[in-house]
Amino acid sequence: MILDEIIEKTKEDLQRRKIEIPLDLLGRSLASNPYAPRDVKKYLTSTKEEPVRIIAEVKKASPSKGIIKEDFDPLAIAQEYSANGANAISVLTEPHYFKGDLEYLTQIRRYVPTPLLRKDFIVDKYQIVEALVYGADFILLIAKALSTKELKELYEYALYIGLEVLVEIHDKEDLTKAMKCGANIVGINHRNLDTFEMDMQLCDKLIPMIPNGKIIVAESGVSNTETIKRLSSIGADAFLIGEHFMRVPSIKDELETFKNAIN
Ligand SMILES: O=C(O)c1ccccc1NCC(=O)[C@H](O)[C@H](O)COP(=O)(O)O
């Protein structure tokens, strides 16, 4: 099971980092942190004027596809996303399976004004403090990887220190967990994180079960305007897109097309 494997590896890494930089030391650097996290809700909520919101992902590799982009320059990619209308940028920080790095967050935050998501496998408050220290505005919590109690604790802690949370779900059980923790931003991941199977009809099943007023993000496998139009029409506010942007000849053209999908 790949999700369990990633979580195990994440916990091993975490033990090491906690010894290298204990939490109180990590927290101390916040006193000189120039970047206050932004409230991302307004960036991700679909409006009449701007119906399609895009979270564009900086993604070098993945467990399902291996290396996706050889000539990978995270800052240049993020600058291109920002200059061409991305509403938020997802920065993968998991090093082993996605070839991500926490330092990418800081680099990007320094030069790019668009809100940043720390995209990782968060299982501990330490990682939430790291997200803040390294420059994220919001974090991902994966319902499938956490018990209801853990999800709620991590969710409340993130809000407490000023970070918003994208709570990712893949089925009804995950949705129940997300609602119990009071999630405002719900991501529906089309990808089954254990089998890598894609279910592009998942939003059709889950969106009608989500109470009104939540921000809905459709995640993974989005690569054309037809999907964006269809999912927008059933209630998706935003789209989290990684691999497709990494492979297209022009991020600018593709982002423009997606942002104008409903016009
Ligand atoms: O992308 C994977 O292979 C993967 C495998 C196991 C756990 C998570 C995984 N991806 C994380 C994501 O959710 C995606 O990076 C994100 O939704 C963007 O998806 P895509 O547009 O399909 O690159």
pLDDT tens digits, 98-145? 999 999 999 999 999 999 999 999 999 999 999 999 999 999 999 999
Q: Is 219 a catalytic residue?
A: yes
pLDDT of residue 157: 98
CATH number of 2-31+46-259: 3.20.20.70
What distance in angstroms lies between residue 223's CA and the mean position of ligand 1's atoms?
Answer: 13
Q: Is 32 a catalytic residue?
A: no
What distance in angstroms lies between residue 32's CA and the mean position of ligand 1's atoms?
Answer: 33
Residues with CB under 6 A from ligand 1: 2, 57, 59, 62-64, 189, 191, 193, 196, 219-222, 240-244
Residues in the chain with pLDDT < 70? none
pLDDT of residue 199: 98
Kindly write down the DSSP assignment for every residue of the chain, as one continuous string: -HHHHHHHHHHHHHHHHHHHS-HHHHHHGGGG---PPP-THHHHS--SSS--EEEEEE-SEETTTEES-SS--HHHHHHHHHHTT-SEEEEE--TTTS---HHHHHHHHHH--S-EEEES---SHHHHHHHHHHT-SEEEEEGGGS-HHHHHHHHHHHHHTT-EEEEEESSHHHHHHHHHTT-SEEEEESB-TTT--B-TTHHHHHGGGSPTT-EEEEES---SHHHHHHHHHTT--EEEE-HHHHHSS-HHHHHHHHHTS--
For atom 3 of ligand 1, which residue has the closest CA? Answer: 64
* ipTM field: 0.98
pLDDT of residue 32: 81
Pocket test for ligand 1, best of 192, 220, 247 (most atoms within 8 A of CB): 220
